[in-house]
Amino acid sequence: MPIKFGTDGWRALIAEDYTFDNVRLCAQGTAVLLKRHDLASRGVVVGYDTRFASEHFAAAVAEVFAGNGVATYLCDKAAPTPVAAYNLVSLHAGGGVVITASHNPAGWNGFKYKPDYGGSASPEIVEELEQLIADAEEAGIAERMPIEEAVSKGLVEYIDPEPAYLNHISSLVDLAGIRNAGLDIIVDSMHGAGAGYFKKLLDGGSTRIVELRAERNPAFPGMAQPEPLAHNLGRLREDVPDRSADVGLATDGDADRLGVVDEDGNFITTLHTFALLCFHQLDVLKRKGPLVRSITMTSMVDRLAELYDVPVFDTPVGFKFLGPVMMEENALIAGEESGGYAFQGNIPERDGILSGLMLLDLMVKSDKSLTELIDTLTEKVGPHFYDRWDLQFEESQRQAIISRLEAAKPDVIAAKSVERIDTRDGFRYVLAGGYWALVRFSGTEPLLRIYAEAESPGDVSALLAAVRDLAGV
C-alpha cells in the first residue's frame, strides 16, 4: 500500500502500516529530497511526541539520515511539533521531521515533514516527497547507520529543544504581564508533548498554574483521542469552576492545537477562540494586517476584517495551504477549525502554546473574563453558533457519497438560501447572512465531517441534518 500524506503528514496504525520499515522509507525519501534541493548540507532536525515508541521511531529516522550522510539534530526528549519546528528554523536546518500523529487515537503514529521555513509542507513538496518514498520502496533501499556510530562520527547530535523556543516565545508575548496578573489557570496537556511548557513560561509571579494529565501515557486514557474538544475535556470542564479558576487551556498530543474552557466550565468553540485571537490582534494590540482562515473557520473573521479594514484570505483545510498564504501575505494570524492557530513573527504553523499565551494576554490587557470577551465579540459580529459531526462511513461508499453531493445543487438548505457552493475542499454551502455548512472527508482519519455555523443552535442542528441527508450517510 503506497504511503500517502494527508492534511499534515503520513499517519497510520502502529504495527499495521506504521512500521519501522515504512518509517525508514519515509526518511530515505526525505533524505533524497533534501539532497535534490541542496538542503542536506544544512542538516535536519528530528523531533517526536509522547506516543508509543515515538523516540525509537525518531532514532530510526536519524539512523537513515546518517546513513545518507545528512547531519541530524535529534531532540533529546519529547517536544511539541511547534517547538521542534522552531528549532529547525533557529538552527537554519534544511528541514525537519516530527514523529507524531497529533490528535489521532492512541493506536496511531505519524511522520510530519517540515521544510526549512518550519511550517507544513506545501502540496507541491508533499507530491514530490511521496514519489521519492515510493521510489525508495520500489528500490528496497533505506541507508542506515547505527545511532551509536552516527553519534560518534558527529552525524547525529542530541539537542535540548526547549531553550531556543522558550527564549523566542518570550519575545512575542508580554509574559511578565501574564505572570503577574494573578490569574488561576488550569492546563490539561492530555498526556501529550506540551506538558510543562506553560509552567516554565509563566512561573514566578502571582499567576498560578495547575496541570492535569501532564505525565506521559501513550494509551491516552479517559479520552477518545488527545484532541482538545469538549467530549475529551470532562475533567478540565469540571475542575475550572470547582477550583474557581479563570480559564482552562488544553493542548493536543503534539501541542499544536488549543482547546479553551471558560470560568464556568463551558468549552469555547475553536471558531470563537480564533475570532477572539483575531480581535486581540486588531483591537487590543492595534495591529494591522491580513487574516487567513480555512474554509471550515468562522465567518466572524470576515466580519472583523470588515470592521477593522483588513483583508481576509480563505484556503482549503490544512496548514499546507494556510501557511504558504500566511507567508506570501505576511498575515497577522492564520487559523483553522481544528484549533490550530499561527502568528506573525513565529513559524507559519499551528502553535497551541503560543495560542494559549495570546489568549491569556487578551484577558490580561482587556481586564475581562472569557465570558465577557465572548459578549464583546458578539456585540461586534452578531450571534454565531457552530457544531461538527464526525461520521463513520464505508470506504467502498466514498465515490457514491461524492456523486450524490455533486448531483445535489440545492437552492435552499434547512430554510436558508444557498448563495454559492465552494468545491475546493469538499462541498461548502455559503448561505445568506454569512453563515455556512460544509461536508468533506477528513484528511487524517477515515471520517466524513459535516460542519455548520448559524445564528442559533437550532439552525446549526437543522443544517447538519440537512447536509447529512444530501450526502446520504
pLDDT in tens, the chain (473 residues): 689 998 789 999 999 999 999 999 999 999 999 999 999 999 999 999 999 999 999 999 999 999 999 999 999 999 999 999 999 999 999 999 999 999 999 999 999 999 999 999 999 999 999 999 999 999 988 899 999 999 999 999 999 999 999 999 999 999 999 999 999 999 999 999 999 999 999 999 999 999 999 999 999 999 999 999 999 999 999 999 999 999 999 999 999 999 999 999 999 999 999 999 999 999 999 999 999 999 999 999 999 999 999 999 999 988 999 999 999 999 999 999 989 999 999 999 999 999 999 999 999 999 999 999 999 999 999 999 999 999 988 888 899 999 999 999 999 999 999 999 999 999 999 998 889 999 999 876 778 999 999 999 999 999 999 999 999 98
* Domain extent listing, the chain: 10-161, 170-381, 385-471
170-381: CATH superfamily: Alpha-D-Glucose-1,6-Bisphosphate, subunit A, domain 3 (3.40.120.10)
Cα 89 to Cα 347: distance, rounded to the nearest angstrom: 8
Phi then psi for residue 92, to 5 deg, are: 55, 35
Cα 195 to Cα 251: distance, rounded to the nearest angstrom: 9
Cα 47 to Cα 78: distance, rounded to the nearest angstrom: 7
- Give yes or no on whether 10-161 and 170-381 have one common fold: yes
The dihedral of CA 420, 424, 428, 432: what is its sign?
negative
Cα 369 to Cα 280: distance, rounded to the nearest angstrom: 14
Q: pTM of the predicted model, to two decimals?
A: 0.94
Decide if 100 contacts 51 (C-beta within 8 A).
yes
CATH architecture of 385-471: 2-Layer Sandwich (3.30)
* Three cell numbers, residue 234: 470532562
Q: Which amino acid is at 76?
A: D
Q: Which amino acid is at 154?
A: G
From residue 448, how far is each of 322, 388, 402, 414, 415 by CA, in Å? 21, 10, 11, 20, 23
Which residues neighbour 55 within 8 Å (Cβ) at sequence distance 6 or greater? 48, 78
Cα 454 to Cα 451: distance, rounded to the nearest angstrom: 10
10-161: CATH superfamily: Alpha-D-Glucose-1,6-Bisphosphate, subunit A, domain 3 (3.40.120.10)
Decide if 372 contacts 246 (C-beta within 8 A).
no
